[in-house]
Amino acid sequence: MKYDNVIIDLKQRPVLQELIEDLTNKMLTQKQVLADCGEYASSTLVRGLQADIQLLNDVIERCYAQQELINARAEQIIGLN
């Protein structure tokens, strides 16, 4: 049996990629909820959503920075061999 449409990706995904994707999806969901609240939302709810979005954004940026460090370390180790 031949499977022409099967694609096997053997490349290693970045260690934090799944976490970054999950956090990004969560942030986009929070932004959508904030956009859908409209004028009837309480100011406390809006401030809470804005704070959550900012926190998620900060964590995502930190994950990207951490991934860059992991990649640099891996390149350094490979260069030593």
Q: How many domains does the chain have?
A: 1
- Residue-level pLDDT at 13: 66
Within a domain: 2: no
Calpha distance 66→27 (Å, rounded): 19
Calpha distance 79→73 (Å, rounded): 10
Within a domain: 10: no
Within a domain: 7: no
Per-chain mean pLDDT for the chain: 87
Q: Which of 58, 67, 51, 56 is CA-nearest to residue 26?
A: 56
Within a domain: 1: no
Within a domain: 33: yes
Token pair in block for residue 64:
């990207």
Question: What domain range is 24 assigned to?
Answer: 17-80
Within a domain: 43: yes
Contacts of 45 by beta carbon, 8 Å cutoff, 6+ apart: 37
Calpha distance 57→60 (Å, rounded): 5
Within a domain: 52: yes
User: How many DSSP H helices and E strands does the chain contain?
Assistant: 2, 0
pTM of the shown model: 0.74
Within a domain: 23: yes
The tokens 């969901």 sit on which residue?
29
Give tens-digit pLDDT for 57-68. 999 999 999 999
Question: What confidence tier does 1 reach under pLDDT thresholds 50, 70, 90?
Answer: low
